[in-house]
Amino acid sequence: MASYPDLSGKTVVVTGGSRGIGAETARAFAAQGARVAVIGRDESALGEVASALPAGLAVRADVTDFAQIDQARIRIEQELGPVDVLAAFAGGQGAPAPSWQLDPARWRDVIDADLTSVFLTIRAFLPGMIDRGRGAIVTMSSAAGRQPSPANIAYAAAKAGIVMLTRQLADEAGPHGVRVNCVAPSTIRTERIERLMPAETADRIAGSHPLRRLGTPHDVASAAVFLASDAAGWITGVTVDVAGGKITN
Ligand SMILES: NC(=O)c1ccc[n+]([C@@H]2O[C@H](COP(=O)([O-])OP(=O)(O)OC[C@H]3O[C@@H](n4cnc5c(N)ncnc54)[C@H](OP(=O)(O)O)[C@@H]3O)[C@@H](O)[C@H]2O)c1
């Protein structure tokens, strides 16, 4: 991993930090010398991730509930100081389902988990960044939000929404010194994917990428750390396809 000395001593929040891409991103920021708070709902998984970091903090919150996120923010600011970097990565629920059979309640759940949650998280942390005149936010889209895929339609719409949310926020927050960028991974070999995806499916999907492999949590974490660092100081409003060459247009 490249080294970004400006991140040393910064306070970083990673939602979805209890496992998968978020946990790896938390470790990557910690490796740069940042103090890192991880947010999720599974207290024991959060504790495991945070306790392995030199200055880690585990904070339980459901990111679909604004009151819980704002409480988390207050605690993080008390224990780690003002937040410099936010990686709003919590989400999921992309499992395929034919659109004409998708339960309307499930549509709402997925939009809540993958789109509304990101707005609520940013709504909690952005005002402080605006007041301080600095900050960097990284949001989480998906290849499923960049082009049609087997993922369910609510997930695709939510993740496409994240791309525009990022651009709009970058436009509004830029004059206040806050940058907002997005990562859009294709299939990433997390523990969940390892557990659920048969080996032959993984091989087939890997082969559909120009780089002929699946992504790793480290691939996404590397892009996120770069986007949050001063090395990306003139970059805002972009979506980086961490996608093994499966570029969209
Ligand atoms: N893996 C991929 O191939 C891939 C590709 C593109 C995009 N993504 C996106 O990357 C992000 C992370 O995915 P992953 O594959 O690492 O998934 P994962 O291993 O299932 O982890 C999901 C994370 O999100 C958290 N989370 C979900 N809903 C939450 C809620 N309501 N409140 C608080 N935390 C919540 C989970 O926390 P708890 O379990 O502690 O509640 C967990 O930490 C997601 O936004 C996903 O859509 C993944």
Q: What is the pLDDT of residues 167-190, one digit of tens each?
A: 999 999 999 999 999 999 999 999
Q: Is the pLDDT of residue 36 over 90?
A: yes
Residue 12 beta carbon below 6 angstroms from any ligand 1 atom = no
**Taking all residues of the chain, what is their mean pLDDT, rounded to a whole number?**
97
What local confidence, expressed as pLDDT, does residue 180 receive? 99
E runs forming strands in the chain: 11-15, 35-40, 56-60, 85-88, 135-140, 178-185, 239-242
Q: For 105-116, what is the mean pLDDT? A: 98
**CA distances (Å), origin 204, targets 98, 193, 200:** 21, 14, 6
Q: Is the pLDDT of residue 67 over 80?
A: yes
Confidence label for 247 from pLDDT (cuts 50, 70 and 90): confident
Cα 93 to averaged position of ligand 1 atoms, centre (Å): 8
What local confidence, expressed as pLDDT, does residue 192 receive? 92
Domains plus CATH for the chain? 7-242 (3.40.50.720)
Active site residues: 155
Ligand 1 atom nearest the C-alpha of 113 is: 31
Phi and psi (nearest 5°) for 57? -135, 130
Q: Whole-angstrom Cα distance, residue 167 to residue 11?
A: 24
Q: Is the pLDDT of residue 249 over 70?
A: no
Model confidence pLDDT, tens digit, residues 78-95: 999 999 999 999 999 999
